[in-house]
């Protein structure tokens, strides 16, 4: 493999790995936000059940629900933003992976062509050697 091909493949591989790490971070953030929403919903349900039995909790339930709605809306916005960012990262990773495969294909093609050239050159040398032996032996 030529030096330029190896360099392109190494750079492209690094780019793919970097994008994979970025995608993993985005997915991790999205999953964490989804988990926080689920926990928030569970807490709201528990608070509602407690408000049924405790008059003090019932009195504060309106404020709690309002705060919970705002926090949940904020978390949902973070999830939506993460999904959009995730799609962009997936698209970028796909493009980078395609580029890597193209570079690998070009390098492999160059290697095959180099091997064919060497085989042709060796064959020509052997043919010339054979012709010289015939010429020397024929005298």
pLDDT at 65 > cutoff 80? yes
Q: How confident is the model at residue 134 (pLDDT cuts 50, 70, 90)?
A: confident
Q: Is 103 exposed, middle or buried (0-12, 13-18, 19+ CB in 10 A)?
A: buried
Alpha helices in the chain (DSSP H): 3-53, 55-137
pLDDT in tens, 13-39: 999 999 999 999 999 999 999 999 999
79-130 pLDDT, tens digit per residue, is 999 999 999 999 999 999 999 999 899 888 888 998 999 999 999 899 888 8
Q: How far apart are CA 41 and CA 59, in angstroms?
A: 20
DSSP 8-class letter at 138? T
The residue among 1 and 17 whose pLDDT is bigger is 17
| pLDDT of residue 4 exceeding 90 | no
pLDDT interval class at 138 (50, 70, 90):
low
Helices 55-137 and 3-53, axial angle in degrees (round to 10) = 170
For residue 47, what are its two tokens?
A: 């608070």
């Amino acid at each position: 493999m030529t030096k330029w091909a190896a360099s392109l493949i190494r750079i492209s591989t690094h780019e793919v790995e970097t994008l994979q790490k970025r995608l993993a971070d985005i997915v991790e953030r999205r999953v964490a936000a989804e988990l926080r929403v689920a926990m928030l919903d569970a807490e709201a349900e528990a608070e509602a059940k407690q408000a049924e039995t405790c008059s003090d909790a019932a009195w504060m339930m309106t404020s709690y629900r309002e705060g919970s709605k705002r926090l949940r809306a904020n978390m949902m916005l973070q999830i939506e933003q993460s999904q959009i960012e995730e799609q962009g990262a997936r698209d970028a990773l796909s493009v980078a992976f395609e580029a890597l495969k193209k570079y690998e294909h070009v390098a492999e093609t160059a290697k095959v062509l180099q091997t064919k050239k060497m085989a042709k050159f060796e064959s020509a040398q052997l043919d010339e050697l054979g012709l010289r032996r015939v010429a020397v032996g024929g005298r």
